[in-house]
Amino acid sequence: MKMDDDAPVIYGLEFQARALTAQTAETDAIRFLVGTQSLKFDNQIHIIDFDDENNMINKSVLLHDAGEIWHISGSPADKAVLTTCYSKTSENRVLTCAAVWRMPPEWESGSHESPDDSSNNPQTLELLCHLDNTAHGSVACVLWEPLGDGKRVISLAENHVLLWDLQESSTKATISSTATLEGKGQLKFTAGKWSPHHNSTQLVTANDTAIRGWDLRSMSQIYCIENAHGQLVRDLDFNPNKQYYLASCGDDCKVKFWDVRHINEPVKCLEEHSHWVWSVRYNHSHDQLLLTGSSDSRVILSNMVSISSEPFGHLVDDDDLSDNEENQQEDKGKEPLQDSIIATYEEHEDSVYAVEWSAADPWLFASLSYDGRLVINRVPRALKYRILL
């Protein structure tokens, strides 16, 4: 292993970008998808492959000529299928639409041969279907059913929750049920997350300062945390291992952790960023690791062990250890584990709007700032070993 293994790997896009996702269905390669934002040029989807052994990035570019991309999300079942939310300007009106796309099958082979050519002759995404939202307004995001078969998505459009069924190999999308948020003023969802727990029957959304939970079977609200944040709520994420635990972040610079059974008070509150927090992500395997990105241009990796599913550290089988190690382990186990900030990453120079963990390697994550800079980082090795051992 090289010494600079922990050093960040930086990749620059030509365009500004907000949309980032890990390729959810891909479990072997470390792969991220980035959607660009440009009003003047054809927008692209950059497929970023990280070669862990050589510490190198391989990229492929796919053309997304429908419009600038605000949100991108990969299918959990088919790694070639993804959804984007893109803005479309017609008749002096800007509308954010959503569509399901398939990556052309050749992109992978082409990119490896000559990465530089790809920008010159980019391949185009294949449109599978539109999630037609003209009746409901701009789409904030599209959510795939977690761990699902890639046939159900939810789109949040203005104040509507739309549950779609994708049929005929995702070429046809039909609305199976909807829910509408009623209330005073112009309500608009800003973010949402489909819960991986409870057989994927729950959804959580954010609008303004409130966080709402929905039951997808009845399409009705099950809880509402009013004034969850002092300002706008920007993002949400479920703890992958604790079904009632939820993290949220917002314009009050805070990250809050909620137990949705007790919504009066957050379980915990972090205030480490010096500007709005745009993105919060639990590590998929080790839920004490939490990633946040903020418009103060920083990415912070926190160790929230006290409210994780392993509050007393990793449970170790005694048989696995030699006597010596066992003693050490016992000593370590006795120390109270403290929540802490593991690292603050300052590689970005503009607002960071998205952070994502890799789907394939739980110790690796990517962050994307508005100026188009993608940074890939690893969890510090010392911490990694402490969690594993």
Partner 1 sequence: SFPGITAIQRQRETHIYSGWSLMGRRLACLSATTPPDSDPTGRRQVHSMLKLYYGMNEEGKVESLDPCDINGPHFDPEVYLNKLRKECSLGELMDHESCTVKQIRSLDSDMQTLVYENYNKFISATDTIRKMKNDFKKMEDEMDCLSANMAAITEFSAHISGTLQDQHAQITKLSGVHTLLRKLQFLFELPARLNKCLELQAYAQAVSAHRRARCVLQQYSHMPSFRGIQDDCHVIMEQLAQQLRQKFRDGGSSAKDLSECVELLLQLDEPAEELCDKFLSHAQSRLEADLQGLEAELIDSLVTDTDILEFIDRGCNEFVSNLCLVIASYQELFINHPQEGELASKKIPEMANGKLHVFVDTLAARYFSLVERRIQEEKGVGDNSLLVRALDRFHRRLQAISKLLPGSAVPSQGTEIVVRAARERIKQYLSALQTFYHDSLTDVRQALAAPRGATSKDATPSLPELLTSLSNFILNQLKSVLASVHLFTAKDITFSNKPYFKGEFCSQGVREGLVVSFIKFICQSSRQYCESAGDRGGSTPPALLLLLSRLCLDYETSTISYILTLTDEQFLVQHHTPVTPVTALCAEAREAAQKLLNHYVKVQGLIISQMLRKSVETRDWVNTIEPRNVRAVMKRVVEDTTSIDVQVGLLYEEGVRKAHSSDSSKRTFSVYSSSRQQIRYAPSYTPSAPMDTSLLSNIHKLFSERIDIFSPVEFNKVSVLTGIIKISLKTFLECVRLRTFGRYGLQQIQVDCHYLQMYLWRFVSDENLVHFLLDEIVGSAAHRCLDPSPMEQSVIEVICERG
* Interface ranges with partner 1 (CB under 8 A): 10-16, 38-41, 87, 89, 92-94, 116, 119, 227, 229-231, 252-253, 274-276, 295-297, 346, 349-351, 370-373
Distance from C-alpha of 151 to C-alpha of 128, rounded to nearest angstrom: 13
Q: Alpha helices of the chain — where are they, by DSSP H?
A: 107-113, 117-120, 323-334, 381-388
* 8 Å CB contact between 75 and 144: yes
Closest CA relative to residue 145, chosen from 213, 203, 96: 203
Indicate the residue among 254 and 286 with the shorter CB distance to partner 1: 254
Distance from C-alpha of 236 to C-alpha of 83, rounded to nearest angstrom: 19
Q: Please enumerate in sequence order all residues whose Cβ is within 8 A of that of 385, keeping only pairs 6 or more positions apart, or say none.
A: none
Closest CA relative to residue 181, chosen from 160, 201, 200: 160
DSSP codes joined into one string, 12-66: E-SSEEEEEEE-TT--SSEEEEEEEE-SSS-EEEEEEEEETTTTEEEEEEEEETT
Indicate the residue among 286 and 373 with the shorter CB distance to partner 1: 373
Indicate the residue among 310 and 371 with the shorter CB distance to partner 1: 371
Indicate the residue among 210 and 389 with the shorter CB distance to partner 1: 210
Indicate the residue among 218 and 227 with the shorter CB distance to partner 1: 227
Closest CA relative to residue 36, chosen from 375, 369, 377, 376: 369
Least distance CB 12 / partner 1 (angstroms): 4
Least distance CB 231 / partner 1 (angstroms): 6
Least distance CB 344 / partner 1 (angstroms): 11
Q: Which amino acid is at 177?
A: S
Least distance CB 354 / partner 1 (angstroms): 14
Closest CA relative to residue 286, chosen from 248, 267, 314: 314
Indicate the residue among 326 and 371 with the shorter CB distance to partner 1: 371
Least distance CB 197 / partner 1 (angstroms): 29
Give first-to-last CA distance, the chain, whole Å: 19
Least distance CB 98 / partner 1 (angstroms): 17
Residue 74 three-state SS: strand
Indicate the residue among 12 and 336 with the shorter CB distance to partner 1: 12
Least distance CB 250 / partner 1 (angstroms): 9
Least distance CB 257 / partner 1 (angstroms): 17
Indicate the residue among 194 and 278 with the shorter CB distance to partner 1: 278
